[in-house]
Copies of this chain bind each other. A is one copy, B any other.
Amino acid sequence: MTPSSIQAQKSKRLMVFCGRSVPGLGEKIAETLHIKLGDIENKTFSNGEIYVRYRENIRGSDVFLIQSTSDPVNENLMELLIMIQAARLASARRITAVMPWMGYCRQDKKSAGREPISAKLVADLLQVAGADRVLTMDLHQGQVQGFFNIPVDHMTALSIISGYFRLKQIPEEEIVVVSPDVGGVKRAKKFAEKLGPKVDLAILTKTRPEHNVAEIMAVIGDVKDKVAIMVDDMIDTAGTMKAGAETLTGMGAREVYSACTHAVLSGAAYERLEDSPIKEVVVTDTLPLNPEKSAGKIRVLSTASTLADTIQSVFLDESVSRLFEGDDQLF
A168 at the binding interface (Cβ < 8 Å): no
Q: Mark A21-50, 1 if CB is under 8 A from B, else 0.
A: 000000000000111111100000111111
A59 at the binding interface (Cβ < 8 Å): yes
A201 at the binding interface (Cβ < 8 Å): yes
A54 at the binding interface (Cβ < 8 Å): yes
**Is B73's CB under 8 angstroms from A47's CB?**
yes
Given contacts A74-B78, A116-B82, A145-B110, contact A5 B13 (CB under 8 A): yes
A7 at the binding interface (Cβ < 8 Å): yes
Interface-side segment among A183-191, A242-250, A277-285, A288-296: A183-191
Q: How many monomers of this chain does the complex have?
A: 6
Interface-side segment among A120-128, A159-167, A252-260: A120-128
Q: For the complex, count residues of A whose C-beta is within 8 A of B.
A: 125
Across-interface contacts of A108 in B (CB, < 8 A) = 142-143, 146
Across-interface contacts of A221 in B (CB, < 8 A) = 220-221
A237 at the binding interface (Cβ < 8 Å): yes
Scan residues 137-157 of chain A and give those whose CB is less than 8 A from a CB of chain B.
141-147, 149, 151-152, 154
**Is B45's CB under 8 angstroms from A266's CB?**
yes
6 A–B pairs (Cβ distance < 8 Å), ordered by A: A4-B35, A5-B15, A47-B103, A89-B115, A110-B154, A197-B208
